[in-house]
Amino acid sequence: LTNNIIKKDGTSISDENIKTLIADFFKNYTLKMDIVNGAKDSLNKLSRYYNIIILSNIPHEFYVQRKKALKKNSINYLFISNNGNKGEAVRKITANNTQKCWFIDDSPFQIMSVKKEAPEVETIHLVTNKRLLELMQDEHKISTLQNWKELEKLIISKTKK
């Protein structure tokens, strides 16, 4: 996030302040975060075909709170906290797998990390927040889905082939 969070005066927030802001955000909102519209239903439907693993870059110290928030919303899948690029973690998770695997993320950098480290894994860039989508610059030229229903249909259509 270095140089990507800008104050009203046009100057960027220091890395130290960004870390504090992020820690404060997770401390105050992890248990209150809403589930993205359609995520729960689509995950439930996709779980009929696949094992679901949630790999998140939430800071490790907020793992328990996030797990509670997911459980409160009846999202009961394996949850793993990660730090940094997700490609290596996905490669390790899928190392002995012989079935089709999907990786879904809202960060094009994480998509590219998985494409590099685990090329056999199908990737989907999903951004449901329109404001975030407008801010993203897609230098990787990857296609982006904008809702869970669209994602669900795509995966199921490719599963049934």
Instruction: Give the pLDDT confidence of 66-95 residue by residue, as tens digits.
Output: 999 999 999 999 999 999 999 999 999 999
Over range 29-56, report the average pLDDT: 94
Amino acid letter at 77?
A: Y
C-alpha span between 7 and 161 (Å, rounded): 50
- 26: alpha, beta or left? (left if phi > 0; alpha if psi -120 to 50): alpha
Beta carbons of 114 and 87 less than 8 angstroms apart: yes
Residue 161: pLDDT band (50, 70, 90) is low
Residue 121: pLDDT band (50, 70, 90) is very high
Residue 62: pLDDT band (50, 70, 90) is very high
Q: What is the pTM of this model?
A: 0.86
Angle at 4 between CA 29 and CA 129, to 5 degrees: 55
Query: What one-character DSSP code corresponds to residue 6?
Result: B
Sign of CA dihedral 25, 29, 31, 35: negative
For the segment 148-159, what is each residue's pLDDT rounded down to a tens digit?
999 999 999 999
Residue 132: pLDDT band (50, 70, 90) is confident
Least confident of 93-97, 135-139, 147-151: 135-139
Strand blocks (E) in 82-141: 102-105, 122-126
State the pLDDT at residue 43: 97
State the pLDDT at residue 156: 95
Amino acid letter at 38?
A: G
Tokens 């907020």 appear where?
62
Beta carbons of 148 and 128 less than 8 angstroms apart: yes
Q: What is the SS3 assignment for 122?
A: strand
Instruction: Evaluate if residue 24 carries a pLDDT over 90.
Output: yes
Instruction: Evaluate if residue 138 carries a pLDDT over 70.
Output: no
